[in-house]
A and B are shown apart, each in its own frame.
Chain A
Amino acid sequence: MEGVILSVRELVIAPQLGEVALVDRVSFDVLPASVCALVGESGSGKTLTSRAVMGLLPENLAVKSGALGFCGEDLLDFGPAELRRVCGARIGMVFQEPMSSLNPALTVGTQVTEALCWHRHMSPGDARTAAVAMLDAFRVPNAATSLDRYPHEFSGGLRQRIMLAAVMLLRPKLLIADEPTTALDAIVQKDVLDDMVRVAKDMNAGVLFVTHDLGLVERYADQLVVLRRGKMEEAGPTGELLRSPASAYTRSLLAAAPSKRAPRRSTGTGQVLLAIDRLCVDYTASGGFFGARAKSFRAVDQLSFDVRRGEFVGLVGESGSGKSTTGRAIAGLVDVAGGQIIFDGTNVAGTEGPARHQARNRIQYVFQDPYSSLNPRQTIGAIVSAGLAELPRAARRAKVEQLLVDVGLEAAFADRLPHQLSGGQRQRVCIARALAVDPDLLIADEAVAALDVTVQAQVLDLLAALQRRRGFACLFISHDLAVVRSICDRVAIMKNGKLEAFDETGRVFGASGNPYVKKLVSAFPTLSQ
Chain B
Amino acid sequence: MRLSLRASIVGVLLAALALLVLAGLLGIGGDPDMLDIDQRLGVAGTAHWLGTDGYGRDIFGRLAAGAVTSAAIAVASVLLSLGAGMLLGGIAGFFGGWIDRLAGLLIDALLAFPGLLLALAMSAALGGGAASVILALGIAQTPVVARQFRASVQAVREREFVEVGRLFGHSRWRIFREQILPNSIGPVIILSASLLSGALLAESALSFLGVGVSPPQPTWGNMLAEGRRFLSSAPWLCIWPGLAITLTVLAVNLAGDLLRDRLDPHMQERG
A: residues with CB less than 8 A from B are 286, 289, 331-333, 351, 357, 360-361, 363-365, 367, 369, 372-378, 383, 386-387, 419, 433, 437
Number of interface residues, chain B, beta carbon within 8 A? 21
Task: Write the nearest CB–CB distance from A187 to chain B, whole angstroms.
Answer: 28
Residue among B159, B160, B169 having the largest count of chain A Cβ atoms under 10 Å:
B160
Closest 7 A/B residue pairs (Cβ): A360-B169, A373-B160, A377-B182, A387-B168, A375-B161, A367-B160, A372-B160
Question: Which B residues, 217 to 271, have Cβ-Cβ distances below 8 Å to chain A?
Answer: 265, 268-269
Task: Write the nearest CB–CB distance from B103 to chain A, whole angstroms.
Answer: 12
B36 within 8 A of A: no
Please determine whether B163 and A333 come into contact, CB atoms closer than 8 angstroms. Answer: yes
Please determine whether B167 and A333 come into contact, CB atoms closer than 8 angstroms. Answer: yes
* CA A378 to CA B181, docked complex, whole Å: 12
Residues of B near A351 (CB, < 8 A) are 166
B179 within 8 A of A: yes
A386-B160 contact given A289-B101, A378-B178, A419-B269, CB 8 Å threshold? no
A433-B178 contact given A357-B169, A376-B183, CB 8 Å threshold? no
* CA A332 to CA B166, docked complex, whole Å: 8
Residues of B near A437 (CB, < 8 A) are 168
18 CB < 8 A contacts A-B: A331-B167, A332-B166, A332-B167, A360-B167, A360-B169, A365-B163, A367-B160, A367-B163, A369-B160, A373-B160, A373-B164, A374-B161, A375-B182, A376-B183, A376-B265, A377-B183, A378-B178, A433-B164
Q: A333-B167, A360-B168, A387-B168 are in contact. List 6 more A-B contacts (CB 8 A).
A: A289-B105, A332-B167, A365-B164, A372-B159, A373-B159, A377-B182
* CA A332 to CA B160, docked complex, whole Å: 14
Question: Which B residues, 138 to 179, have Cβ-Cβ distances below 8 Å to chain A?
Answer: 159-161, 163-170, 178-179
Task: Write the nearest CB–CB distance from B241 to chain A, whole angstroms.
Answer: 42
Task: Write the nearest CB–CB distance from B39 to chain A, whole angstroms.
Answer: 58
B: residues with CB less than 8 A from A are 97, 101, 105, 159-161, 163-170, 178-179, 182-183, 265, 268-269
* CA A364 to CA B166, docked complex, whole Å: 10
A364-B167 contact given A372-B160, A375-B178, A376-B183, CB 8 Å threshold? yes
Nearest B residue (CB) for A419 = B269
Residue among B105, B168, B265, B268 having the largest count of chain A Cβ atoms under 10 Å:
B168
Neighbour of B183 across the interface among A357, A375, A383, A386, CB < 8 A: A375
Task: Write the nearest CB–CB distance from A123 to chain B, whole angstroms.
Answer: 48
Neighbour of A333 across the interface among B97, B166, B170, B178, CB < 8 A: B166
Task: Write the nearest CB–CB distance from A145 to chain B, whole angstroms.
Answer: 37
Residues of B near A386 (CB, < 8 A) are 164-165, 168, 170
Residues of A near B179 (CB, < 8 A) are 375
Nearest A residue (CB) for B156 = A375
Task: Write the nearest CB–CB distance from B75 to chain A, whole angstroms.
Answer: 26
Residues of A near B183 (CB, < 8 A) are 375-377
Task: Write the nearest CB–CB distance from A507 to chain B, whole angstroms.
Answer: 33
Residues of B near A357 (CB, < 8 A) are 169
Residues of A near B268 (CB, < 8 A) are 419
Please determine whether A365 and B101 come into contact, CB atoms closer than 8 angstroms. Answer: no
Task: Write the nearest CB–CB distance from B139 to chain A, whole angstroms.
Answer: 24
Task: Write the nearest CB–CB distance from B164 to chain A, whole angstroms.
Answer: 6
Task: Write the nearest CB–CB distance from A506 to chain B, whole angstroms.
Answer: 33
Nearest A residue (CB) for B168 = A387
Residues of B near A369 (CB, < 8 A) are 160
Residues of A near B163 (CB, < 8 A) are 333, 365, 367
Please determine whether B178 and A365 come into contact, CB atoms closer than 8 angstroms. Answer: no
